[in-house]
């Protein structure tokens, strides 16, 4: 099973900027940055492009998975199938794609059984308490009101990261914290690490930047 020390996880969402062949370009830029500074960069593309992008040989995860069976489950994203396409894990319960807590629990276990990593998102401290009991590999704190706004959670709401780190430590010795929402530059990343985060989950700060390569290099250099 692949493991990460301090990853930069880039969620491509469904931004128009990464449509068509541009999704390949951003993964190639990320791969170049990762070679140049030996950082761990993980890409979460739209699930339909997992097979094509995983051939570039940079870790690829899904943006979402469904707790449904292999077989006649049209339109759902099934862990076993995305693994066969080269995904090494998945985001679960992103605030733009919430699911019920029992499903989160099932999916964390199912991914672990498949030797895939789970990144479970939580939007407040109560949700942090609940989902950390499911022992995902990573728990990403993302207050929804800060997502895509360019104001980093590590600066706008540092206490939510600090408190989450503390709460998670009391519940599980293995769950690690990713900081997400509004991260735009290396100072935001430094602040997140100071507060106890062990990686970053980012989207618009990279996708909307003028140079994907330069931005990924800047952010990932702080994490290596």
Active site residue ranges: 94, 142
Measured distance CA(109)–CA(103) in Å, rounded: 10
Regarding 11 and contact with ligand G3P (CB under 6 A), the answer is yes
CA angle 40, 44, 45 (to 5 degrees): 135
Regarding 108 and contact with ligand G3P (CB under 6 A), the answer is no
CB 53 within 8 A of CB 23: yes
Regarding 18 and contact with ligand G3P (CB under 6 A), the answer is no
Regarding 46 and contact with ligand G3P (CB under 6 A), the answer is no
Regarding 202 and contact with ligand G3P (CB under 6 A), the answer is yes
66-105 residues in contact with ligand G3P (CB under 6 A) are 94
Regarding 136 and contact with ligand G3P (CB under 6 A), the answer is no
Q: Which residue is nearest to ligand G3P (CB)?
A: 204
For ligand G3P, which is the closer residue by CB, 35 or 187? 187
| Nearest distance from C-beta of residue 44 to ligand G3P, angstroms | 7
Count of residues engaged in binding ligand G3P, rule: CB under 6 A = 14
How is residue 212 annotated by DSSP?
A: H
CB 58 within 8 A of CB 25: no
Regarding 205 and contact with ligand G3P (CB under 6 A), the answer is yes
Q: Which of 182, 171, 178, 219 is nearest to 195 (CA)?
A: 178
Q: Which stretch binds ligand G3P (CB under 6 A): 33-41, 71-79, 179-187, 210-218?
A: 179-187
The site for ligand G3P (CB under 6 A) is made up of: 11, 94, 142, 147-148, 180-183, 201-205
């Amino acid at each position: 099973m692949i493991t990460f020390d301090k990853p930069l996880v880039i969620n491509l969402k469904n931004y128009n900027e990464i449509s068509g062949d541009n999704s390949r370009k951003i993964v190639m830029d990320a791969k170049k940055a990762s070679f140049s500074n030996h950082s761990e960069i993980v890409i979460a593309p739209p699930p339909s492009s997992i097979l094509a992008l995983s051939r570039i040989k940079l870790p690829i995860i899904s943006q979402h998975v469904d707790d449904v069976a292999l077989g006649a489950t049209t339109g759902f994203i099934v862990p076993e199938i995305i693994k066969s396409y080269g995904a090494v894990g998945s985001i679960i319960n992103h605030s733009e794609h919430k699911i019920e807590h029992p499903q989160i629990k099932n999916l964390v276990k199912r991914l672990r059984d498949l030797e895939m990593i789970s990144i479970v998102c939580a939007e407040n401290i109560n949700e942090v308490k609940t989902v950390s009991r499911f022992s995902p590999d990573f728990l990403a704190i993302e207050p929804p009101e800060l997502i895509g706004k360019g104001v980093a959670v590590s600066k706008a709401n540092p206490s939510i990261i600090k408190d989450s780190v503390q709460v998670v430590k009391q519940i599980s010795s293995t769950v690690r914290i990713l900081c997400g929402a509004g991260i735009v530059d290396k100072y935001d990343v430094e602040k997140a690490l100071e507060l106890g985060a062990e990686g970053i989950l980012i989207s618009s700060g990279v996708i909307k930047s003028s140079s994907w390569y330069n931005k990924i290099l800047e952010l990932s250099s702080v994490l290596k």
